Amino acid sequence: MRTQVGIIGAGPAGLLLSHLLHLQGIDSVVLESRSREQIESTIRAGVLEQGTVDLLTETGVGERMKAEGALHHGFELAFEGKRRRLDLTGLTGKSITVYAQHEVIKDLVAARIAAQGALHFEVSDVSLHDVESSKPGIRYRHQGEARELHCDFIIGCDGAQGVSRNAIPEALRRDYQRVYPFAWFGILVEAPPTSDELIYARHERGFALVSTRSHDVQRMYFQCDPEDSVDHWSDDRIWAEMHARVDSDEGHKVIEGKIFRKNIIGMRSFVSTTMQHGRLFLAGDAAHIVPPTGAKGLNLAVSDVRVLSEALRGFYKNDRIDLLDRYSETALKRIWRAEHFSYWMTRMMHRLDDASPFEQQLQVAELEYVTTSRSAAMSMAENYVGTAPV
């Protein structure tokens, strides 16, 4: 098989890149190890920046997001028994949309199928070849047959456990990582919204987050030990913990409901540089991971493929190679800004076992500052809604 761009991974990065290239008249083939049902049913939260919402809308895949997503103009910070609202729209003129990642994936899959795009699910034994040449290839098995895809470029969007990153020689790569000594215990709840907007809570017992999924389904998290097990947590124990961390002295309380899903999410910050080698380019989680506190993961993937699609358009339409040559440099500017913001929010909001009482009070002081100083609130809001596209 022959195509212009071979894409490994049908997550948000791979699917959106294929969609953007299609709109520019550039052919691509997407290879995915999981089934369509698996990628469309793996539930992950999704806070979409204004720029992400605009891009999905402008490229024709935002209709369902507009109808079903929850538009938020701010969020609340809960600490020391009180809640204070950060007015995102008032501070920046922008908003966010809460729309789950797997719903974005459903929309992108539907768009690629409607355009008769080449999507191959349940592939195995994927390997990359000749990435330093002008004719790289991807070998894989699909429907019991060994196959090879010849292309001009390979784009690795296959996440942290995929094969793409390791196809860049270790001598050329430098990986940066921070593994956090805590995790998030996540629950899905059949209940009406506790709040019209997200609530980020800092408590001496640990962090908690309340997010709306729909008018009758809510997503909530609380900080836990990464070695913990969902089997250790009864519903009564979960609700006691959520009330302790989120309920306010002013009488605001978490609304309980039937818990129908529980999971534990590990947390780390990770960046791999370089994001390119020869005709191989990385995008999304294949190159970087952020803790979910800053809501940047999906948005960074969108930012990567926005840059990459423009660079590929420059190559095919104008014989330009300079944009591709600068891809890593360009993408990493926003990546490191998002990494810093996510790390800062994580450090400010979570219980840190190695923090002294003095450092714990510094967390409170910082929350007081960002909720009372317009300039500090502006900085937090600008980063949360997303910095300008690179």
291 part of the active site: no
Active-site residue (options: 102, 288, 296, 350): 296
User: What spatial distance separates the first Cα and last Cα of the chain, rounded to whole Å?
Assistant: 34
Amino acid at 53: V
Q: How far is CA 169 from the centre of its chain?
A: 26
- Pick the catalytic residue from 12, 19, 72, 180: 72
Which residue out of 99, 140, 221, 384 is catalytically annotated? 384
Q: What are phi and psi of 154, to 5 degrees?
A: -115, 130
Q: Which of 140, 180, 200, 221 is catalytic?
A: 200
Alpha-carbon distance of 280 to 288, in angstroms, equals 16
Q: Is 296 a catalytic residue?
A: yes
C-alpha 319: how far from its chain's center?
A: 32
* Cα(65)–Cα(59) distance, integer angstroms: 13
Residue 316 bears catalytic tag? no
* Active-site choice (12, 136, 291, 292): 292
Cα gap 14→5, rounded to integer Å: 11
- Active-site residue numbers? 72, 200, 292, 296, 384
